[in-house]
Chain A
Amino acid sequence: MNTEVLADQVVSDDTPIANKEIHDVIGAEYAPGFVTDVESDALPPGLNEDVVRAISAKKDEPEWMTEWRLKAFRIWQKMESPDWAKVSFPPIDFQNISYYSAPKTMKDKPKSLDEVDPKLLETYKKLGIPLHEQERLAGVAVDAVFDSVSVATTFKGKLADAGVIFCPISEAIRDHPDLVKQYLGSVVSLSDNFFSALNSAVFSDGSFVFIPKGVRCPMELSTYFRINASNTGQFERTLIIAEDSSHVSYLEGCTAPMRDENQLHAAVVELVALDDAEIKYSTVQNWYPGDENGKGGIYNFVTKRGECRGNNSKISWTQVETGSAITWKYPSCVLTGDNSIGEFYSVAVTNNFQQADTGSKMIHIGKNTSSTIISKGISAGKSQSSYRGLVKMMKHAENARNFTQCDSLLIGDKCGAHTFPYIEVRQPSSTVEHEASTSKIGEDQLFYLQQRGISAEDAVSLIVNGFCKEVFKELPMEFAVEAQALLGISLEGSVG
């Protein structure tokens, strides 16, 4: 890659706070850390062509899909795990992971919620995602994914009336093969990167969304990913297609039990927006982050990319990342269509020993394309947080514009924040603006707020929420509230 590093801003151990010891004490309570006791039908650990075939068979996939997976697997075998991110972890033994696990009760493919194991429904209820008709969140359709299968998808009928397809991707492969064939892998190719190639070979479930021409999706769509089984990786695959002049807002949430071992989550999400279409994709990521000593937690290695394929289209990513032991994730926009718009709004929180290397890529291809990146990194404890972003102005991207702002907030003096912006310009009429700042929650600020009667912990929340508000305002209302609460929990114990 012909990239140029413009700035590498590092703030680390060398700024002690006078008079106040701010340190990590009690680990925050991770409420979704429970395990659901269900018998599962799992493949034994290990990865080879037979495993890929077995996954495909479990999903009753057509031959072309099996071949697609095998092709990806062969590509993956020749690739190396990337080492450029500012994260460190022992090498992953890919032969020691199980690539498929589903509750046994899902084997008979329940036709309705009444046939779904109550234990599974109870799990989602506990997580605040009721699936039963009468308790559902009004206006939000949910696809609930449990390990490698989708347990239920709500409001399917109502959505179908509007012409919207919202179903597990495994179902789409069987029922809408032409759409899947046309779009799957069209944004993130099989050989894109190590983890996306792995995902393409072994992906299990995820959601498929198709919004036909001219339709404004009548409700928010969401997928809730739950890892439950131990020793199992989750390889979600999501594909969202918005045809001409359509509009959709999609949300993703995720949690996992607390376990001592690290678990791999390697997802691929592809978005396609055609002429005048708009896709808004929001994520509240709360995978188990590991304990206060850095034991356990999810490795979250994710490829998310959207293509504004049509003119005047728009894709907007909003993410609130509080979980995972390691996050490696760069939701990106390829702005192919003229006048298309890409946006990335991110809050990434790391505490204790969490590591996050996250950011965005904006690839400007069409004329008058514009993009905005607002990244807010918050580091506490002994965590490390990096922003890594690429803005690329291609040869024909006349009058393209990008604005990037990345701000880091440090809590305590043992954490680090880093910024790695890469800018590549091949079209002289384009403009790229980059702003960065690093600040620290000062003892004086905390004392001032405490003197006003606000507890130290609430004071941190107040400052952190203020720091993130530009991003929170991009989230749908209910989720903004959830995200704020989550932030408070993630930073619990970060001041003492």
Chain B
Amino acid sequence: MLDIQNLHATVNDKPILNGINLQVNAGEVHAIMGPNGSGKSTTAYVLAGRDGYDVNQGHISFEGKNLLDMEPEIRTRAGLFLGFQYPVEIPGVSNMYMLKAALNAIRMHRGEGELDAIDFLQLVKQKARELNIDEKFLYRDVNVGFSGGEKKRNEILQMAMLEPKLVVLDEIDSGLDIDALKVVADGINALRSPERAFVIVTHYKRLLDYIQPDFVHVLSEGRIVKSGNISLADELEEQGYGWIETAPTGTDG
């Protein structure tokens, strides 16, 4: 589904990603761990097509198509979803309104036609209920005044609504209380399917215990330096990153 080959990227002319290789197949769940500043969020932004994140080497294909050729919104409509490490506040625009615009843009792209107001309302309320999100959040402006954990849950709500093929979640577990973490993990697990893949960036094993990823990768200085299974996360939890960073360059998973 996703094939990242030798990806090099700069931000403001500063090299951040230095040759990432990663293959993700449908149905797989990949976790990416790694020290602060190693390039995890940068990788996510490059995938989503954020302006200013310049790819100067390598390529990315998504379902056989050149991802780097697509505008950000086209990537989303093609099935890529990014849950942000820091979800953005948008004053004046209600959550509900944004979700409707987003869902309909995606549905139009898929040739499904727009959802009418009543069906949409039903759907969004049902998803909110499943994720234990109070209905009143739907009527509030996007992320405005939301607590850190509420913002993260809102990302999961959007993911659930948009039903992407490839979900990239950047530190979705940071700032969540124990109950919310469970809700978010359940939300992710509920969406797992043989047609869908996940790339989950996290610093903590706790989320991975709930999710049981197929692969765990360690990113360091813009490169994947080690890949393994969930036991790698256990080792990291015990020993930190020090022992890996000196290790020779690992490869794909």
Please report A residues at the B interface, Cβ cutoff 8 Å. 18-21, 439, 442-445, 447-456, 458, 462-463, 465-467, 469
Q: How far is the CA of A465 from the CA of B82 in the complex (A)?
A: 25
Closest to A458 in B: B101
Chain B neighbourhood of A462, CB < 8 A: 90, 93, 97-98, 101
Query: Are B91 and A466 interface neighbours, CB within 8 A?
Result: yes
The total of interchain contacts (Cβ-Cβ below 8 angstroms) comes to: 91
Q: How far is the CA of A449 from the CA of B103 in the complex (A)?
A: 11
Known interface pairs A447-B50, A452-B162; A439-B91 also in contact (CB < 8 Å) = yes
| Residue B52, interface by CB 8 Å | yes
Q: How far is the CA of A466 from the CA of B48 in the complex (A)?
A: 25
Q: How far is the CA of A443 from the CA of B77 in the complex (A)?
A: 20
Chain A neighbourhood of B141, CB < 8 A: 466
Minimum distance in angstroms from A96 CB to a CB of chain B: 44
Minimum distance in angstroms from B226 CB to a CB of chain A: 29
Closest to B158 in A: A452
Known interface pairs A448-B84, A448-B90, A463-B92; A453-B77 also in contact (CB < 8 Å) = yes
Minimum distance in angstroms from B51 CB to a CB of chain A: 4
Minimum distance in angstroms from B123 CB to a CB of chain A: 16
Chain A neighbourhood of B162, CB < 8 A: 452-453
Q: How far is the CA of A469 from the CA of B90 in the complex (A)?
A: 14
| Residue B202, interface by CB 8 Å | no
Chain A neighbourhood of B109, CB < 8 A: 453
Minimum distance in angstroms from B111 CB to a CB of chain A: 14
Supplied contacts A20-B52, A450-B76, A451-B73, 6 more A-B pairs, CB within 8 Å: A19-B53, A452-B102, A452-B158, A454-B102, A465-B92, A466-B94
Binary flags per residue of B18-62, CB closer than 8 Å to A gives 1, else 0: 000000000000000000000000000000111111000000000
Q: Please report which residues of chain B, range 94-109, place their CB below 8 angstroms from some CB of chain A when the two chains form the complex.
A: 94, 97-99, 101-103, 105-106, 109
Q: How far is the CA of A458 from the CA of B141 in the complex (A)?
A: 17
Query: Are B93 and A443 interface neighbours, CB within 8 A?
Result: no
Query: Are A449 and B50 interface neighbours, CB within 8 A?
Result: no
Query: Are B105 and A445 interface neighbours, CB within 8 A?
Result: no
Query: Are B76 and A451 interface neighbours, CB within 8 A?
Result: yes
- Sort chain B's interface into a size bin: 35 or more
Between B12, B98, B99, B141, the greatest number of chain A beta carbons within 10 A of the residue's beta carbon is seen for: B98
Chain B neighbourhood of A451, CB < 8 A: 48, 72-73, 76, 81-82, 84
Known interface pairs A447-B72, A467-B92; A452-B52 also in contact (CB < 8 Å) = no
Minimum distance in angstroms from A21 CB to a CB of chain B: 8
Chain B neighbourhood of A20, CB < 8 A: 51-52
| Residue B87, interface by CB 8 Å | yes
| Residue B71, interface by CB 8 Å | yes
Chain A neighbourhood of B87, CB < 8 A: 448
Chain A neighbourhood of B77, CB < 8 A: 453
Q: How far is the CA of A445 from the CA of B84 in the complex (A)?
A: 12
What's the dominant secondary structure at chain B's contact region? mixed
Closest to A470 in B: B92
| Residue B88, interface by CB 8 Å | yes
Query: Are A19 and B88 interface neighbours, CB within 8 A?
Result: no
Chain B neighbourhood of A448, CB < 8 A: 84, 87-88, 90
Query: Are B71 and A450 interface neighbours, CB within 8 A?
Result: yes
Chain B neighbourhood of A443, CB < 8 A: 51-52
Known interface pairs A18-B52, A458-B101; A453-B92 also in contact (CB < 8 Å) = no
Q: How far is the CA of A230 from the CA of B77 in the complex (A)?
A: 47
Please report B residues at the A interface, Cβ cutoff 8 Å. 12, 48-53, 71-73, 76-77, 81-82, 84, 87-94, 97-99, 101-103, 105-106, 109, 141, 158, 162
Query: Are B101 and A445 interface neighbours, CB within 8 A?
Result: no
Closest 7 CB pairs of A and B: A19-B52, A466-B92, A452-B102, A466-B93, A453-B76, A448-B88, A450-B72
Chain B neighbourhood of A442, CB < 8 A: 88
Chain A neighbourhood of B82, CB < 8 A: 451
Between B12, B49, B76, B162, the greatest number of chain A beta carbons within 10 A of the residue's beta carbon is seen for: B76
Chain A neighbourhood of B90, CB < 8 A: 445, 448-449, 462-463, 466
Chain A neighbourhood of B48, CB < 8 A: 447, 451
Minimum distance in angstroms from B60 CB to a CB of chain A: 16
Query: Are B93 and A463 interface neighbours, CB within 8 A?
Result: yes
Chain A neighbourhood of B94, CB < 8 A: 466
Q: How far is the CA of A19 from the CA of B103 in the complex (A)?
A: 27
Minimum distance in angstroms from A469 CB to a CB of chain B: 7
Chain B neighbourhood of A465, CB < 8 A: 92-93
Query: Are A19 and B51 interface neighbours, CB within 8 A?
Result: yes
Q: How far is the CA of A295 from the CA of B157 in the complex (A)?
A: 48
Minimum distance in angstroms from B118 CB to a CB of chain A: 20
Closest to B54 in A: A19
Between A442, A450, A466, the greatest number of chain B beta carbons within 10 A of the residue's beta carbon is seen for: A450
| 11 A-B residue pairs with CB within 8 Å | A21-B51, A445-B90, A448-B90, A450-B72, A451-B72, A453-B103, A454-B105, A456-B73, A463-B93, A466-B91, A466-B141
Chain A neighbourhood of B53, CB < 8 A: 19
Chain B neighbourhood of A458, CB < 8 A: 101, 105
Query: Are A454 and B73 interface neighbours, CB within 8 A?
Result: yes
Between B48, B51, B102, B109, the greatest number of chain A beta carbons within 10 A of the residue's beta carbon is seen for: B51
Query: Are A447 and B158 interface neighbours, CB within 8 A?
Result: no
Q: How far is the CA of A462 from the CA of B72 in the complex (A)?
A: 17
Closest to B53 in A: A19
Query: Are A453 and B102 interface neighbours, CB within 8 A?
Result: yes
Q: How far is the CA of A278 from the CA of B40 in the complex (A)?
A: 61
Minimum distance in angstroms from B206 CB to a CB of chain A: 26
Q: How far is the CA of A454 from the CA of B101 in the complex (A)?
A: 7
Minimum distance in angstroms from B47 CB to a CB of chain A: 10
Closest to A18 in B: B52
Chain A neighbourhood of B72, CB < 8 A: 447, 450-451
Query: Are B105 and A453 interface neighbours, CB within 8 A?
Result: yes
Chain B neighbourhood of A452, CB < 8 A: 73, 76, 98-99, 101-102, 105, 158, 162
Minimum distance in angstroms from A448 CB to a CB of chain B: 4
Q: How far is the CA of A473 from the CA of B117 in the complex (A)?
A: 19
Chain A neighbourhood of B51, CB < 8 A: 19-21, 443, 447
Chain B neighbourhood of A466, CB < 8 A: 90-94, 97, 141
Q: How far is the CA of A456 from the CA of B91 in the complex (A)?
A: 17
Minimum distance in angstroms from A22 CB to a CB of chain B: 10
Chain B neighbourhood of A467, CB < 8 A: 91-92
Minimum distance in angstroms from A470 CB to a CB of chain B: 9
Known interface pairs A466-B92, A466-B93; A453-B84 also in contact (CB < 8 Å) = no
